[in-house]
Amino acid sequence: MTRTLPDAHKVMGYIKRTYDWDWSGADESFRRALELEPGNADVINRASVLAWTLGRFGETIKLIRRSIELDPIRVSGYFFLGLYTYYAGLLEESQTASRKVLELNPQYPIAHKNIGLVYLEKGKPDLALTEMKRETEPFWQMFGLALVYHKLGKKKEADNKLAQLIKENNAAFQIAEIYAYRGETDKAFEWLERAYVQHDAGLTGMKGDPLLRNIEKDPRYITFLKKMKLPL
């Protein structure tokens, strides 16, 4: 009987996505959970994460908006909405969602970093710098500053933050993102390969990642997606 319960399917979907990288298996589990309990905000939230991994941004945004309707004071709903709309290029909605996160919880980690990324997309690095400096999680502040200093042309500061990130953190995917953003393609792929070997969870967000845009036309990008068994 346990197999018919939506929570069991939700957990199986989470395991298959996060640990097994079994996208089709995870998709099946989440779809079954949603069939059984379509009004479960947590199931909808988890299903939206898989849709994001697979680059189905229209679906993922629809799901997370539904989750917020069902549970409007859940901070993570707005956090994910900010993330998904950033990937989809809906920058104003992304910024609004991340501001809502901080309204509900001023110390919520990654929110200022996400707002900073939106400002980078908008071509406003000075405003991005302000947000990155306000980020409460040290790792994400370091990551964000490495990006912003590069955009501002402050090579020494950017290099220092990247070197610090490499020295202090086992964060292969984020390092690959920084190299890709800097246009250092070979280094980006070197770190993507390291991330793959390490089974870095960050790779589940590589599809459509704005920070990887500079390497998407390189043949190695398609090859890597195939290795990840992600949609092309």
For 106, other C-beta atoms within 10 Å of its C-beta total 11
The pLDDT score that the predictor gives to residue 1 is 38
Note whether 209 and 232 are within 8 A (CB): no
185-213 residue pLDDT tens: 999 999 999 999 999 999 999 999 999 99
What predicted TM-score, i.e. pTM, was given to this entire model? 0.94
The answer to whether residue 175 is domain-embedded is: yes
The answer to whether residue 188 is domain-embedded is: yes
The pLDDT score that the predictor gives to residue 216 is 98
The answer to whether residue 189 is domain-embedded is: yes
Write down the residue that tokens 């980006």 correspond to. 188
The answer to whether residue 191 is domain-embedded is: yes
The pLDDT score that the predictor gives to residue 226 is 97
Write down the residue that tokens 């988890």 correspond to. 46
The pLDDT score that the predictor gives to residue 167 is 95
The pLDDT score that the predictor gives to residue 160 is 98
The pLDDT score that the predictor gives to residue 4 is 55
- Among left, alpha and beta (phi > 0; psi -120 to 50; other), residue 108 is beta
The pLDDT score that the predictor gives to residue 210 is 98
Low-confidence ranges of the chain (pLDDT < 70): 1-4
Domain containing residue 179: 170-232
The answer to whether residue 64 is domain-embedded is: no
CA distances from 34 to 13, 31, 75, 101 (A): 11, 5, 21, 26
Rg over alpha carbons for the chain, rounded to the nearest Å, is 18
The answer to whether residue 192 is domain-embedded is: yes
Query: Residue 98 and residue 81: Cα distance in Å, rounded?
Result: 8
In sequence order, which ranges of the chain are alpha helices (DSSP H)? 6-15, 23-36, 41-53, 57-70, 75-88, 91-104, 111-121, 125-134, 138-151, 155-168, 172-182, 185-197, 219-228
Structurally, the chain folds into a number of domains equal to 1
The pLDDT score that the predictor gives to residue 165 is 96
The pLDDT score that the predictor gives to residue 170 is 82
The pLDDT score that the predictor gives to residue 177 is 98
Contacts of residue 80, Cβ cutoff 8 Å, sequence gap at least 6: 45, 48, 49, 52, 64, 67
Note whether 195 and 202 are within 8 A (CB): yes
The answer to whether residue 16 is domain-embedded is: no
The answer to whether residue 90 is domain-embedded is: no
